[in-house]
Amino acid sequence: MIKNGCLQCHGNNFEGTVMAPGFVETKYFWNCSELIKYLKNTSDFEKDKRVGNFKEMYRSLMPSYAELSNSERNDIAELILSIK
């Protein structure tokens, strides 16, 4: 499953690792349609302050998932926004 790729960087429970941030606060900064765009092409968001800061904080880069279908990206976005 595609999610397993995410977990390697974002942590098994999306708690974050040295590689990438966790998702507990993500819902406060993104809405569903923006997240779908981000997953499709992360480099569109390089100028975003929050994303830019992350680039300095973490040791990996968030890959784009352009190969997924819109409905798959939508499912992932909804999952992330539901994390508490």
- Residues contributing to the site for ligand HEC (CB under 6 A): 2, 5-6, 8-10, 19-21, 26, 29, 35, 42, 50-51, 54-55, 58, 60-63, 65, 76, 80
The nearest distance, CB 43 to ligand HEC, in angstroms, is: 8
Distance, in Å, from the CA atom of 75 to the CA atom of 38, rounded to the nearest integer, reads 14
Structural contact between residues 63 and 2, judged by C-beta atoms closer than 8 angstroms: no
DSSP state of 39: H
User: Smallest distance, Å, CB 70 to ligand HEC?
Assistant: 14
- How far apart are CB 84 and ligand HEC at their closest, in Å? 14
Distance CA 65, CA 41 (A): 7
